[in-house]
Amino acid sequence: MIPKDTIEQILYYARIDEVVGDFVPLKKRGSNMWGNCPFHNEKSPSFSVSPTKGIYKCFGCGKAGNSVNFVMEIDKKTYPEALRYLAAKYNIHIEEREVTPEELVAQSEKESLRILNTFANKTFQHQLWETDEGKSIGLGYFRQRGFRDDIIKKFELGLSFDDRKGFTKEALKKGYKAEYLVKSGLSIRPERHENVTELTAEHLFDRFAGRVMFPIHGVSGDVLGFGGRILGNTKEVAKYLNSPQSDIYDKSKILYGLYYAKKSIQQEDFCFLVEGYTDVIAMHQAGIENVVASSGTSLTIEQIKLIQRFTNNITILYDGDAAGQKASERGTSLILEEGMNVRVLLFPDNDDPDSFSKKVSPEELKDFIKNNSHDFITYSASRISDEAKRDPIKKTEFIRHIIDNIALIPDSISRNVYIKECSRIVDLDEQVLSLEVNKIRIDKETRKQKDKNKPFNQQQNQTPNVQNESSSPALINPEPPEVVDERQATLDMFDAIERNISRLLLKYGNNLMDIEHYTQEGELATMQISVSEYILFELFHDELNFVNPINQLLLDEFVHQLKDDRIPNEGYFVHHVNPAVSQLAIQLTAEDHNLSENWAEKYGILIEMEGMNIKKTVEQALYIYKDKRLQGMIHELKESLKDNDNFDDVMMTLSEIKKYESFKARVNQLLGRTIVR
């Protein structure tokens, strides 16, 4: 557990612009900072960061939050994990007891895996630097590869001893559970022990025994997995071995070296993409830090989008062999389709960035990359042989390959620029190329629409198997779509009205308003109470709770604070220790006036100029809510009459309907008076 006062200290010091700035390039515009949203693909910035309010808000996808929420969302961390990350960033010490084996089991699985990987990383580094075997074998290997000690330490490289059970025994001895050793992939359970319930060191062995270790960090620096290289050139086992898929490690969504590269990528506004761990490390040693690798897997869309958080420009630096050429062509297509700018460089004589960097000086390496990286059309043109240029069939294939790539580009201006360049290189009419590109895009869009409609058509044609007793009645006799839509629309309406009341509580809760009341002598008098007290009194007087439980959470917190004679302000809720409360408060604070037009159109909620007459604004919001709730109650009572044959029940229900309709008429009268006056 993290103490409450420590959480408050973390929330106080964690500046939203600094936290977000580690992941997203931000530019100041007015009082806020702006950048491209890291949560969805966009070209023009709609992601706003408010240093004064301590929140972020994307006006494209709607994501909003504070510093803790951002870390949770960007790196898929739990609330405690995000707090620990921020504490480490701001050098805030967290007083926590040593995790016992029992507590380890009780923690979330993701957090347990992260803790275990941290332990493994420290163990492998210790074995490299502090043992005779590590110094002679592990360090000897890295130094032989030409890596300096400072670079080895920077990337936290390590060694796993050539003992098939060494690490497993050590981890179990320290209290880490065998279950998580297996799930993390650090230990392997052979098939013959699949049915064993109480795992011990006898049932497991080390995955990475006898290998030098490359820890794989997430964007925020957590160790999510490992890569291990065998010492020597034994053909019987794989040269490189990676951690398997786990709850925290998905190699298709991770880029090796991004944690060390992200600031440099932002500063340089482009990223080098290489294939292997040692390529990244060698580039850093040569003074080039804006470089990442695809973690031993083919480049994926998720990895490209990860780079896109920091820059829109990628240069592919792959091996010069046939496999490297093929991989670069595939990577080029994926990058273009995401709307990014891509250049390609292939190293000569089957070199890779690691081996080539050892042959030249850092300055020569930088000059070589600068002078030999080309846009994808020029790169493609350089690969066509003289023979192919004279062969119409091969030349057509070459042109088709370029056109296919141009057609992937989503931005029309960029497409036209590349069409013009392609026309110049292949000596073909620009209009012909443009027609071909448009034809490809139309065909692709048509296929996409067909695929999108296919599942729906199939569902329409399927007849439920009513003979199957295990079938759910809800699936056999589903509610009509209009019923489902009506129910959802009702919930959305209540949510919108409740959010408006919550917004008023946050924004004006401390404001005073005059209300009329009768004294004990029966005289009409005026008294002042806070907006928050008035709203809560009105809701509780009519025994109304919010329909949406998240909205009710915020309401309950107001009640709790008012009992102690405190009226919390907007900042209290924005940085609330309950993530659900803070998230709602942030959304309401970020939205504020932005939803006024939609709310007015859909639900009759008028926000403009509300501060000029706060009493009228609050009364209107409450009367609208009461009106809608009464309308819902009346509807439910009328529906209950349809299948009720009991005379007494029917008469009682009709009496209730009449009572509620009388209440509703009174509320409508008050609502009309509030709007008109």
* DSSP three-state, residue 165: coil
Q: Are strands 512-518 and 524-530 parallel, antiparallel or unpaired?
A: antiparallel
pLDDT score of 662: 75
Report the alpha-carbon angle 17-19-21, nearest 5.
60
**675 has a pLDDT exceeding 70:** no
Report the alpha-carbon angle 176-177-183, nearest 5.
110
Phi, psi of 104 (to 5 degrees): -60, -40
Residues near 297 by beta carbon (within 8 Å), at least 6 away in sequence: 251, 252
Per-chain mean pLDDT for the chain:
81
Average pLDDT over residues 215-240: 87
Average pLDDT over residues 416-420: 88
First to last CA, the chain: 54
pLDDT score of 450: 63
Hey, what are 334's tokens? 């994926």
pLDDT score of 52: 76
In this prediction, what percent of the chain has a pLDDT beyond 90? 25
Ramachandran category for residue 103: left, alpha or beta (phi over 0 → left; psi -120 to 50 → alpha): alpha
β partners of residue 217: 223
Average pLDDT over residues 303-313: 88
Average pLDDT over residues 491-511: 86
Helix axes 109-129, 166-173, angle to 10 degrees: 120
| Domains delineated in the chain | 4-89 (3.90.580.10), 98-249 (3.90.980.10), 384-443 (no CATH), 482-676 (no CATH)
pLDDT score of 461: 43
pLDDT score of 598: 53
pLDDT score of 258: 93
Q: What is the DSSP string of 330-353?
A: HHHHHHHHTT-EEEEEE-STT--H
Hey, what are 270's tokens? 């482009």
pTM of the predicted protein model: 0.62
Q: What is the DSSP string of 418-440?
A: HHHHHHHHHT--HHHHHHHHHHH
pLDDT score of 481: 54
In this prediction, what percent of the chain has a pLDDT beyond 70? 85
> Is 31:13 a contact under the CB 8 Å cutoff?
no
**358 has a pLDDT exceeding 80:** yes
The pLDDT confidence band at residue 209, using thresholds 50, 70 and 90, is very high
pLDDT score of 102: 57
pLDDT, one tens digit per residue, over 404-416 is 999 998 888 888 8
> What's the CA gap between 424 and 628, in Å, rounded?
66
pLDDT, one tens digit per residue, over 390-401 is 777 878 888 888
Phi, psi of 298 (to 5 degrees): -65, 145
Half-sphere exposure of 591 (CA within 13 A, CB side): 22
The pLDDT confidence band at residue 520, using thresholds 50, 70 and 90, is low
> What's the CA gap between 122 and 108, in Å, rounded?
22
Identity at 81, one-letter amino acid code: E
The pLDDT confidence band at residue 184, using thresholds 50, 70 and 90, is very high
Identity at 579, one-letter amino acid code: P
pLDDT score of 139: 95
The pLDDT confidence band at residue 652, using thresholds 50, 70 and 90, is confident
